Amino acid sequence: MRLTILPVLVFNGVMSFAVATPLQNTTLKHSWDNIPRGWSFEATPDPDHTFDLHIGLTQNRVQDLIHHLMEVSDPTHPRYGEHLSKDEAEALAEADPASLNHTTSWLESHGISASRITHRKSGGDWLTLRVSVSEAEQILNTQYSIYRRAASEERVLRSLSYSVPVSLEPHIDVITPTTYFSTLQSMRATSFLQPESDPAEDIDALVGPIFENVPIPMGCSTTITPACLRALYNTSSYVPVSMGQNQLGVAGYLEEYANRADLQTFLKKFRSDATNASFPTVTINGGQDDQTKPGIEANLDIQYTIGMSYPTPNIYYSTGGSPPFTQDSETPTNTNEPYLEWITGILSRDTIPQVITTSYGDDEQTVPVEYATRICNMFAQLGVRGITLFFSSGDSGVGGGDCRTNDGTDRILFQPAFPASCPYVTAVGGTTRINPEVGVSFSGGGFSRYFSQPTYQNTAVSGYLAHLGSQHSDFYNPTGRAYPDLSAQANRFQVVVGGRLVSVGGTSASSPTVAGIFSLLNDYRLAQSLPPLGFLNPLIYSLSNHTRTTSGNDTPSPGFNDIVSGSNPGCGTNGFAAVEGWDPVTGLGTPDFGKLQDLVS
């Protein structure tokens, strides 16, 4: 297929093109002032190239959905634990029939027949239609271009803005793919190899028995294994009994495949009582399960969720979306949106694991606010069904790179991470060392600029803000959703990849660790005929009595090991500091399973 490069007009450094259909009686849904950082204009696409356009209709009852979520997640409310069914949650997420009718009429006016439109109910009402580039440009009063990401040579089809008729503004939440540039390749996996931390040569020294007078196994100050974590977070003596009811899920992207042979090697080395464990891989959106390509991130996640939760059944979700290309490599034939593909796939299922961990994220500012809001509301839809969602908080402290804003002002601000900044997920930060643990320097944490601070954390966060005073006041939003919510070890995890032992760090290690612990708490509750914990944050923030200490900070939250030292520098600053009570480095602290057992029963 031959591409025709059209003349380019440049305004304020942004390449633009004349649009065939003039803007008439339309409203702008979203636009970028500049091409998002890391991407550059590559070419003009063939106008006949086709792709799937997704239209998210306005969820008129989303506030009712959030209201239900908060009631069933609040341990002081009479409805605590009365999670909704799939059908009940979908009813609260659906659009008004008028929105469906008005939007389909609009599409028909552009020559899109009803037979070309697919209506999906998962995650609210979504319309999917196969369109050509020229059709999409006319419908959305925009110009699509092919953009290239220098870091990976990845090419995507995106626009810098899009509009809808004024009359449809109340009926449409978001349309994709348009201005959200992130893809499965540009998402960050929040883990990294640590070649400077050599794997232990003497494996037996790491997995020796936990003697009565030695609560933490030898070697845990330099390398982390399941034995270290089980001792550190007090799960060693618990034996799960609700395997027929309880499940733990791991979300995988980026063609990262969890390898079963590596799991067996890992368990033989580090948890010999679990060597009969395995896991199924469930594919979403064309995901695969290539056992010849073990992934570091995937193996880290599944080895430590199973290592912490055995014999609880684990499931690995492999989400597809890496762009295939036609013979003409300049023309992308894939425009998947990473979180949208995964969560719609999960929400469509009747049975979902009670706990799911995800170790990927983006800078919040790179995600259009309309898209982030819709995805966050879809996470709430999972929560109201009794699902606990853990997301790693990121590995860039308060922000990586130059921390400059992409809103045209080019200011230097702390850069919160998404989805960790969504108030309906539980964000997990990182610690290092033992006796005592300290906040690890790369632990992502801060305050959202998209989502306001939820009431469940107001008291805990106000103590930290009082302690902080005017420090960093020009860099963050004190009224935003604060994160992380809790934390766990994040350094020197021993992982088997391709039969070899490697050392891995990152909050990607923290999130599956915490997921395993709370999966055990669900097991404990289910054994008592109690419902699973579901959306966790109202519970864990309510555990603290929030009385003031002489230093003016909050007291530690019962059930958690308070982390009082460490910081998360970034953006040319020393970042935030860990203190007594909640802080934006380690949240409420690291979990103590034994204490939490007493609090959740």
pLDDT, tens only, 22-54: 445 999 999 998 898 889 999 999 999 999 999
27, 437, 505, 584, 586 from 483: Cα distances, Å: 34, 19, 20, 6, 8
Computed on alpha carbons and rounded to an integer, the radius of gyration of the chain in Å comes to: 24
Q: How far is it, in rounded angstroms, from Cα 191 to Cα 508?
A: 5
Q: Are 561 and 94 in contact (CB under 8 A)?
A: no
Q: How far is it, in rounded angstroms, from Cα 379 to Cα 347?
A: 9
Q: How far is it, in rounded angstroms, from Cα 227 to Cα 29?
A: 51
Residues 6+ apart with CB under 8 A from 457: 481, 482, 485, 537, 541, 582
The H or E element containing residue 192 is strand 192-193
Q: Which two tokens stand for residue 400?
A: 């990586």
The H or E element containing residue 72 is helix 62-73
Residues 6+ apart with CB under 8 A from 30: 161, 162, 178, 179, 368, 369, 370
pTM of the model: 0.90
Q: How far is it, in rounded angstroms, from Cα 164 to Cα 141?
A: 8
Q: Peptide bond before 226: cis, by omega within 30 degrees of 0?
A: no
Residue 460: the pLDDT is 95
Q: In what order do the strands lie in the sheet with 360-363?
A: 188-189, 360-363, 417-418
Maximum distance among all Cα pairs of the chain, rounded to whole angstroms: 77
161, 301, 447, 594 from 228: Cα distances, Å: 50, 16, 31, 16
Residue 325: the pLDDT is 38
Residue 169: the pLDDT is 95
Binding site for Ca(2+): which residues? 562-563, 581, 583
Active-site residue flag, 301: yes
Residue 203: the pLDDT is 38
Q: Are 432 and 228 in contact (CB under 8 A)?
A: no
Catalytic residue among 90, 262, 301, 523: 301
Residue 332: the pLDDT is 47
Q: How far is it, in rounded angstroms, from Cα 332 to Cα 303?
A: 35
Active-site residue flag, 508: yes
Residue 7: the pLDDT is 35
Low pLDDT (below 50) residues in the chain: 1-23, 187-188, 200-214, 323-334, 546-552
Residue 437: the pLDDT is 97
Instruction: Please state the φ and ψ torsions of residue 454, each to the nearest 5 degrees.
Output: -70, 150
Binding site: which residues? 562-563, 581, 583
Q: How far is it, in rounded angstroms, from Cα 502 to Cα 492?
A: 9
Residues 6+ apart with CB under 8 A from 342: 251, 253, 284, 285, 317, 319
Residue 180, classed as helix, strand or coil, is: coil
Q: How many CA atoms lie within 13 A of 90 on its CB side?
A: 14
Residue 99, classed as helix, strand or coil, is: helix
CATH number given to 189-600:
3.40.50.200
Catalytic residue among 359, 503, 508, 557: 508
Residues 6+ apart with CB under 8 A from 571: 397, 398, 399, 403, 412, 413, 414, 415, 475
Domain ranges of the chain: 9-58+95-181, 189-600
Residues forming a β-bridge with 315: 249
Q: Which two tokens stand for residue 275?
A: 């060597």
Q: At what angle do helices 369-384 and 62-73 cross, to 10 degrees?
A: 50
Q: Which two tokens stand for residue 579?
A: 């203190």
Catalytic residue among 46, 255, 297, 485: 297
- What is the 3-state secondary structure of 537-581? HHHHHHCCCCCECCCCCECCCCCEECCCCEECCECCECCCECCCC
